[in-house]
Amino acid sequence: MSWRNIGIVYRKELTDSLRDRRTLISMVVVPIVIMPLMSIGLITLAVVMVGKAEKEVPKVMIVGGEDSPQVVADLKAMKDIDFEPGTLDYAQLISDKKIRAAVDIPPGFDAAVGHGTDATVKIYNYENDLKSGIASAKLQKKLGELKDRTVKDRLVSRSLPANLVDPFEVTTQNVAPPEKVGGAVLGGFLPYFVIILCMTGAMYPAIDLTAGEKERGTIETILCSPVSRTHLVLGKFLMVLTASLCTAILAMTSMGVSFGAVKKYMAVTIISKADNPLNFTIGIKAISAVFLMVLPLAVLFSSALLAIALTAKSYKEAQSYLSPLVIVVVIPAVAALMPGVEINTRMLLIPVLNTSLVCKDIVSGTYHWNNIATIFISSCVYATAALFIAVKLFQREDVLFRT
């Protein structure tokens, strides 16, 4: 094998690819601009929208309560809720988002509380609606305070200690390092984005170096050069792999810079450090380990895309072949985002899925070395097989000159 010939083919293809606008967009613009905007931008937007929703004064309706002035007065004393006059169409108003919730005070509520009999207050809301949920939470908190106050007043009236029904307090405190906290938040997102970008970054170069050559009529000229077809396909493969890895590296770098900037912005705008949803870090060790695990996957993508695109006779046909593969890769990659999905023995040999799950563990600071070794070796085997198939396809005249 002549590495000199492979290097010549690689440099030639690299030069040509850097002149192609579509390749530059997929390899540089998408990871540097689009992906950070999609990821960091969406997180920031979500935080801002939730903050605005929490500051908004929701409209709430009190249903009933005509004979219970005490509880109605306590509720209306809330300054962060705007109470509307009660009507019978409260359910429709909530569904139309004209009011955010309604609290139903049963008849004789004050009297029932005074006599110690059972009474149930109902809160009507719009399930899974953010603003309705915030309004319901405020009502529940206020009613909980009224409930606790009633219990304490009863204990005091009977000369009993107020802490009789609440003998101790329970608090929570985080003891996990920032790396593990960051892994719990971004453990599924980071490998998902890296895997998808490895795939998309290799797609357009793979099409251009195979079907694109056929469409331009230059593949015959390349095959007439004094370079064996094995060297030719390996040079093209290295170019596609370079595009794949560059896309992933640029994306990780860009996301890291964007994430750091957003984190500083959130630290300034959010008073409480504990309330900052981005108050965590991901270590260099975890990022390096993720990149190492994705490396054989990038080889697999580059080889497979090169082989499949070679069977097409035009650029458009190659796109129709490769576009569905994005869905095939997204489905197992998105498994890392699913709560409760953990790697097991059956998943160790499933490509993409195994890498996605083990990277999720790595980002969260968990290193199961047996699983890591098994997945890395199996991914290398799959990548080698895909590269072998690509080399064999380049030997077939019916594939190269398909019309």
* Domain region containing 328: 3-40+177-400
Ramachandran region of residue 18, left (φ > 0), alpha (ψ -120 to 50) or beta? alpha
| In a shared domain, residues 264 and 358 | yes
Mean pLDDT of the region 108-132: 88
Domain's final residue, options 157, 186, 210? 157
Q: Is residue 93 part of a domain?
A: yes
In sequence order, what are the beta bridge partners of 123?
A: 103
Highest mean pLDDT among 128-137, 179-188, 223-232, 278-287: 128-137
122-125 vs 101-105, strand pairing mode: antiparallel
Residues 364 and 276 in one domain: yes
**207 and 306 assigned to the same domain:** yes
Q: Based on the domain organization, do 237 and 374 belong to the same domain?
A: yes
* In the predicted structure, residue 385 carries a pLDDT above the cut 90: yes
**Is residue 59 domain-shared with residue 32, that is, in the same domain?**
no
The mean per-residue pLDDT over the stretch 25-39 comes to 73
Tokens of 198: 């490895």
Give the pLDDT score at 265.
Answer: 65
Instruction: Mean pLDDT check: name the lowest of 40-54, 108-122, 180-194, 239-253.
Output: 180-194
- Within a domain: residue 81? yes
pLDDT at 143 over 60: yes
Are 320 and 189 in a shared domain?
Answer: yes
Q: Are residues 204 and 113 in the same domain?
A: no
Q: How many domains does the chain have?
A: 2
On whether both 181 and 259 belong to a single domain, the answer is yes
HEC profile of the chain: CCHHHHHHHHHHHHHHHHCCHHHHHHHHHHHHHHHHHHHHHHHHHHHHHHHHHHHCCCEEEEEECCCCHHHHHHHHCCCCCEEECCCCCHHHHHHCCCCCEEEEECCCHHHHHHHCCCCCCEEEECCCCHHHHHHHHHHHHHHHHHHHHHHHHHHHHCCCCCCCCCCCCCCCCCCCCHHHHHHHHHCCHHHHHHHHHHHHHHHHHHHHCCHHHHHHCCHHHHHCCCCCHHHHHHHHHHHHHHHHHHHHHHHHHHHHHHHHHHHHHHHHHCCCHHHCCCCCCCCHHHHHHHHHHHHHHHHHHHHHHHHHHHCCCCHHHHHHHHHHHHHHHHHHHHHHHCCCCCCCHHHCCCCCHHHHHHHHHHHCCCCCHHHHHHHHHHHHHHHHHHHHHHHHHCCCHHHHCCC
CATH number of the domain residue 127 falls in: 3.40.1710.10
**Domain assignment of residue 48, yes or no:** no
Q: Is residue 46 part of a domain?
A: no
Domain boundary among 127, 157, 187: 157
Is there a single domain that holds both residue 138 and residue 185?
no
- 366 plus 297 within the same structural domain: yes
- pLDDT for 43-102, tens place per residue? 677 777 877 888 888 999 999 888 888 988 999 988 889 998 888 899 999 999 999 999
Residue 167 counted as domain residue: no
Q: Give the integer Cα–Cα distance in Å for 186 and 69.
A: 49
Lowest mean pLDDT among 11-25, 104-118, 285-299: 11-25
Q: Is 163 within the bounds of a domain?
A: no
Residue 88 and residue 11 share a domain: no
- CB-count exposure of residue 279 (10 Å: 0-12, 13-18, 19+): middle
In this structure, are 271 and 302 located in the same domain? Answer: yes
Q: Which two tokens stand for residue 151?
A: 């219990």
Average pLDDT, whole number, for the chain? 82
Model-level pTM?
0.69
pLDDT of residue 54: 82
The one-letter amino acid code at 336 reads A
Q: Is residue 140 a part of any domain in this protein?
A: yes
pLDDT digits (tens, 9 = 90+) for 192-221: 888 888 888 888 888 888 888 888 877 777
In a domain, 166, yes or no: no
Q: Choose the final residue of a domain: 125, 157, 189.
A: 157
Among the ranges given (142-156, 225-239, 280-294), the one the predictor scored with the smallest mean pLDDT:
280-294
d(CA 139, CA 149): 15
Q: Enumerate residues 6+ apart whose C-beta is below 8 A from 104.
A: 63, 64, 121, 122, 123, 124
Q: pLDDT tens-digit profile of 288-302?
A: 888 888 899 999 999
Q: Which of 25-29, 247-251, 280-284 has the highest mean pLDDT?
A: 247-251
